[in-house]
A and B are shown apart, each in its own frame.
Chain A
Amino acid sequence: MTVVHRSPAPHVVIVGGGGTGGALALDLALRGLRVTLVERGEITSGTTGRHHGLLHSGARYAVNDPESAAECIQENQLLRRVAPGSFEENDGLFVGLDEEDMAYGEKLFAACGETGIPARWLSAAEALRLEPNLNPALKGAIQVPDATFDAMRLPLRWFATAKAHGALIQPFCEVTSLIVHDKCVTGVRGRDHRTERDFEISADIVVNASGPWAEKVAAMAGVDVPIQPSPGVLLALRGRFCNMVINRMHKSGDGDIVVPQRALSIVGTSSWIVDDPDDLGVPEDHVQKMYEEGAKLIPAVRSAPFRQAWSAARPLIGSRGAATGRELSRTFKCFDHMERDGVEGFVTISGGKGTTARAMAETTADVVCRKLGVDAPCRTRDTVLLPHTAYYTA
């Protein structure tokens, strides 16, 4: 009689418990891999939880970055199917306040058509019937399928479902070094801050999904990834002044969006550059700019009761260094450090945004599976997610 010993599935360690790490943990677990995710703090405590909660239709990128716009509309429609009940599905408006805006609107409308984003022109009067708190001087508006999502609770659904499929999620476990033998990463070392005991986890592949911290984690393997942490200020005001997401009909700028969310209105955002993603600060002039620019869209913003102002660091991909890695899109990149730096067993995913986290995970899981010789299709496109609350009880 022959006994067949089935070797255990390959083990992937994910460093970083943001939306990308959560979606990746689910993707890999659904493909039959063993997954351990380690996160320094609570999950979604970095960039993930801090954004304004816009589920992009892609219209924001349609004119200048059609590839990213196409990604957004695809994910926008897909996420509504796999995460039902997670969105304030009230659409969005791009609002034109002057002739320059309206000229941009013509380009925007055409670009939406080319990238497959449903869009509809509204007269000023029509827009005001839908959103009576808009600046009454508006010239016209374009309706697009933007929506609001809860920046923490949508990612929690990936984490919940990943756990249910066997992924081990370890918050408060800080990676302090990577285990490297002969230019091959074979695991992680760190400290569990719940016990203050050290841990060591071996892995067939380690994925660096640490967002704006990606450069620091990559440095532990002696490789350089060109991540530039770029924070933006956001302003939360008490009260809802609109049902739809309100965008300024011009190219991206400071304070060009108001996102209604629960009982709050979020005005965003600005942009600057920092070295340390742990030390952002909230520049006072940026806060004032949010009031000024937000009030151009919705005058009530100026006198609305303040709830909070905060900063979130985007993980932008810089152009420094020779980016010979596998470029997968203009908006996010997955670096196979074997191809790029001659370091085996180590992959970095960075860039992107909340709306495209699942797509980032799919791309990364494809790279991981190719490296491990695992032939399994992505299933996150049609696996309906558990509710966010299941994360705590699963």
Chain B
Amino acid sequence: MGETVTFRVHRYKQGDAAPHQDTFQVETEPRTTVLDALTAIRRTQDPSLTLRHSCFHASCGTCAMKVNGREVLACVTNVRELGTAEVVVEPLENAPLVSDLVVEMAPFFARYNAIDRPLVRESELVPGAQRAPGVERALRYEDCIECGICVSVCPIAGTDPDYLGPAALAAADRVREEPRGRDLPFVLSLADDPHGVWRCHAAFECTEACPSNVDPAGHIMQLRRALIGGRLRRLFAPRAEVGR
């Protein structure tokens, strides 16, 4: 059953002149994921390897990284299904490097937190279901798992450090769809900015790569339509309503 796969892993420690790659041989089974392989490397070959992980089932978003050049969650990336004799593992792009495969998520969350979209949304019930007595609203977590993949693949995020980015803009559109007590005009003002929705070039890389079906590009387009609609309404509104 065992099959040996070569892993080339991005290495960097603070103070190093430059990153390099280390090569490891890992014994794999049919279920082995890239995350399993990396934790096995840490256990049996190099305890200094740093990486982020938590849930092991695509719910927490911490193990986002580049595998063979593509952004994925390592926990749901099966090694054998990659079909390559060598697996290259690198950290996410468009985020400051901490060490090895770990990137600093603070800039991501600084933008994301500005939008302040609630974690839980009022859910559509399972089809045909009724709400249970005593349960006021059926609740469900938002789909976004804050992994940073959409920002890593975004061609704009790579060139405009002030761009709000797909995750935050998708969150802004979720506030528009379901404000849940948030300050919607303020959130829309953040999105309606040269570094907001108007900066997106509609490459749709984010939607393509999102492991949680958030469709950030779709949300950005919806947000643009809503903002344009709002402007047109103001343009044709009676003067008194416009104020000033």
Instruction: Give the interface of A toward B (CB within 8 A).
Output: 41-42, 44-45, 48-50, 53, 85-91, 120, 129-133, 143, 148, 150-153, 172, 174, 191, 193-196, 234, 236, 240-244, 260-264, 266, 278-279, 282, 284, 307-310, 312, 387-390, 392-393
Contacts and interface: CB of A to CB of B under 8 A. Distances in A.
B232 interface: no
B139 interface: yes
Contacts of A120: 133
Contacts, number: 177
Interface stretch (B18-26, B122-130, B157-165, B222-230): B122-130
B138 A90 contact: yes
B123 A243 contact: yes
Interface of B: 13-15, 31, 33, 39, 43, 47-60, 62, 75-76, 98-100, 102, 105-106, 108-110, 112-113, 116, 118-120, 123, 125-135, 138-143, 145-146, 212-213
B126 A243 contact: yes
A160 to B, nearest CB: 10
A42 B134 contact: no
Contact of B126 (A131, A194, A266, A390): A131
Given A243-B129, A263-B212, A308 B75 contact: yes
B85 to A, nearest CB: 24
A310 B57 contact: yes
Given A262-B143, A264-B59, A150 B119 contact: yes
Given A87-B120, A152-B62, A195-B15, 15 more contacts: A41-B50, A41-B51, A44-B54, A49-B62, A87-B139, A88-B141, A130-B132, A132-B126, A261-B59, A262-B140, A308-B33, A308-B75, A309-B31, A392-B106, A392-B109
27 contacts: A41-B51, A44-B54, A49-B53, A49-B55, A90-B135, A90-B139, A129-B129, A143-B133, A150-B59, A151-B55, A152-B59, A193-B47, A193-B48, A194-B13, A195-B99, A196-B48, A234-B57, A236-B58, A262-B59, A262-B212, A264-B57, A264-B58, A278-B39, A309-B31, A387-B119, A392-B106, A392-B109
Given A91-B132, A196-B13, A262-B143, A388 B119 contact: yes
Contacts of A174: 47
A36 B136 CA distance: 41
Contact of B119 (A86, A133, A263): A86
Contacts of B47: 174, 193
Given A193-B99, A278-B39, A42 B52 contact: yes
A261 B142 CA distance: 10
A387 B105 CA distance: 15
Contacts of B129: 129-132, 242-243
A133 B126 contact: yes
A307 B58 contact: yes
Given A278-B39, A393-B110, A88 B120 contact: yes
Contacts of B58: 236, 264, 307-308
A337 to B, nearest CB: 26
Contacts of A264: 57-59
A196 B11 CA distance: 12
Query: B55, B106, B141 — which one has the most chain A CB atoms within 10 A of its CB?
Result: B55
A243 B125 contact: yes
A53 B39 CA distance: 23
Query: B98, B110, B126, B142 — which one has the most chain A CB atoms within 10 A of its CB?
Result: B126
How would you classify the secondary structure of chain B's contact residues: helix, strand, loop or mixed?
Answer: loop
A263 B126 CA distance: 11
A195 B11 CA distance: 11
A87 B143 CA distance: 14
Contacts of B48: 191, 193, 196
A241 B141 contact: no
A310 B56 contact: yes
A186 B130 CA distance: 58
A180 to B, nearest CB: 22
Contacts of B140: 88, 240, 243, 260, 262
Contact of B106 (A241, A307, A393): A393
A241 B119 CA distance: 21
B53 A45 contact: yes
Contacts of B113: 387, 389-390, 393
A194 B54 contact: no
Contacts of A312: 56
A375 B192 CA distance: 52
B126 A282 contact: no
A241 B50 contact: no
A134 to B, nearest CB: 10
Contacts of A91: 132, 134-135
Contacts of B125: 243
B118 A85 contact: yes
A86 B132 contact: no
5 pairs of A and B residues whose beta carbons are closest in the complex: A49-B54, A310-B56, A392-B109, A236-B57, A194-B99
A349 B107 CA distance: 35
A276 to B, nearest CB: 8
Contacts of A241: 126
Nearest to A282: B31
Nearest to B99: A194
Query: B54, B99, B140 — which one has the most chain A CB atoms within 10 A of its CB?
Result: B54
Contacts of A194: 13-14, 50, 98-99, 102
A89 B31 contact: no
Contacts of A263: 143, 212-213
A243 B122 CA distance: 12
B109 A389 contact: yes
Nearest to A309: B31
A131 to B, nearest CB: 6
B126 A240 contact: yes
Query: B47, B59, B99 — which one has the most chain A CB atoms within 10 A of its CB?
Result: B59
